[in-house]
Amino acid sequence: MSHSLPNLFLSTAHECSYLPDRAANTLFMDPRFPLSPQLFGDFNRRGFRRSGDLIYRPHCQDCQACVPVRIPVAAFTASRSQRRTLERNRDLEVSARAPMFDSEHFALFLRYQNHRHKGGSMANPDPPTYLRFLVGRQVETVFYEFRAGSRLLAVAVVDSLPDGLSAVYTFYEPDLRERGLGTYAILSQVHLTRALGLPFLYLGYWIGESPKMAYKSRFQPLEGYRNGRWAPLAGGD
C-alpha cells in the first residue's frame, strides 16, 4: 500500500446478514479518505469489498465464515452446467451503460429485491438510496445490461481494478429462473475480464454455510483469501 493510509474503524456488533443467530462486526475504511485506483485495488486484494462509498470487510471475533474469493480467469473452464447456461442465453445482447439512475433498471431492481430479498434492507429503496448502494463516487463503475431484444433481463454492476474486475451486484428478472441469469452474468464478466487482459474477477465473499453465497464455489478454479494470502479454494471447501 501507499505510505499515506486511511484510518480503519470497527463497527459495533450487529446481526449477521448471512448466518442466523450470529453477531457480526465490520471493519471499514474512513470514507473521507481519497480513494485512488491503486489504493482501491490494494484493499480488494486484502479481502475488502465496496458497498456505495463504503470499503469494508467482515471482522468477526469468533467467526471466519466469510472468505473473499476471485476467479483467475485465464485458467477458468466452464462446467457442463455452465455451458448449458451459456447456450440458453445465447440470444442475449450485453451493453455497457454509465452508472446513473435509469427508471427501467430501477423497476427491475425492485422486482428482484421483492422476490429474492423481501423484507431486506434494500426491499423498498427510493432512487437516491438505490444509487448510493450501487455507485461509489471515487471508483470506476459500469452497469452492464443484458437484453433479449428490447426487454431488459439483468443488470450487472462492475467495478474496475488495476488487476481485474469486481462483481459488485447483479439483479435480474426473477420470473426467468430457468435461464440462470445470475450464473450467466458471472460467466459474461469472466469473458470481459479476459478480453481486457486482466487476471482476476473478484466475486466478494464465499460462505459455505449460506445458500445465498455458497454457489460461488461452482466457478473453478477459485481462489480464497485466508491468513493473508490467496490460495486455491476447491468446491465445497
Same domain, residue pair 53 and 85: no
Is 99 contained in some domain? yes
Tens of pLDDT along 80-107?
A: 999 999 999 999 999 999 999 999 999 9
Same domain, residue pair 149 and 224: yes
171 vs 6: CA distance, rounded Å: 32
Alpha-carbon dihedral angle through residues 125, 129, 132, 133, given to the nearest 10 degrees = -20
Tens of pLDDT along 149-169?
A: 999 999 999 999 999 999 999
Which residue type does 132 have?
A: R
28 vs 84: CA distance, rounded Å: 39
Same domain, residue pair 23 and 97: no
Q: Which segments of 64-180 are extended strands (E)?
A: 67-72, 93-97, 141-148, 151-161, 164-172
Q: How confident is the model at residue 118 (pLDDT cuts 50, 70, 90)?
A: low
Same domain, residue pair 140 and 52: no
Same domain, residue pair 59 and 114: no
Region 32-57: mean pLDDT is 96
Is 1 contained in some domain? no
Domain of 175: which CATH number?
3.40.630.30
3-state secondary structure 94-115: EEEECCCCCHHHHHHHHHHHHH
Same domain, residue pair 108 and 36: no
Domain boundaries, position 54: 8-67
Same domain, residue pair 99 and 42: no
Are 35 and 50 in contact by the 8 Å Cβ rule? The answer is: no
Same domain, residue pair 31 and 122: no
Q: Which of 67, 83, 113 is the last residue of a domain?
A: 67
Take residue 170 and report the three cell numbers written for it.
447483479
**Number of structural domains in the chain:** 2
143 vs 7: CA distance, rounded Å: 30
Paired strand residues for 148? 151
Confidence at residue 119, expressed as pLDDT on a 0 to 100 scale: 56
Q: How confident is the model at residue 210 (pLDDT cuts 50, 70, 90)?
A: confident
Region 180-200: mean pLDDT is 98
Residue 12: strand, helix, or coil: coil
Asked whether residue 7 carries a pLDDT value surpassing 50, the answer given is yes
Distances (CA, A) of 85 to 58, 137, 182, 188, 235: 32, 34, 10, 11, 19
Confidence at residue 98, expressed as pLDDT on a 0 to 100 scale: 98
Confidence at residue 2, expressed as pLDDT on a 0 to 100 scale: 45
Same domain, residue pair 34 and 102: no
Tens of pLDDT along 211-222?
A: 788 889 999 999
Same domain, residue pair 55 and 123: no
Q: Which of 27, 49, 67 is the last residue of a domain?
A: 67
Region 207-235: mean pLDDT is 91
Same domain, residue pair 155 and 227: yes
Confidence at residue 1, expressed as pLDDT on a 0 to 100 scale: 44
* HSE-CB of 108 using CA atoms within 13 angstroms: 19
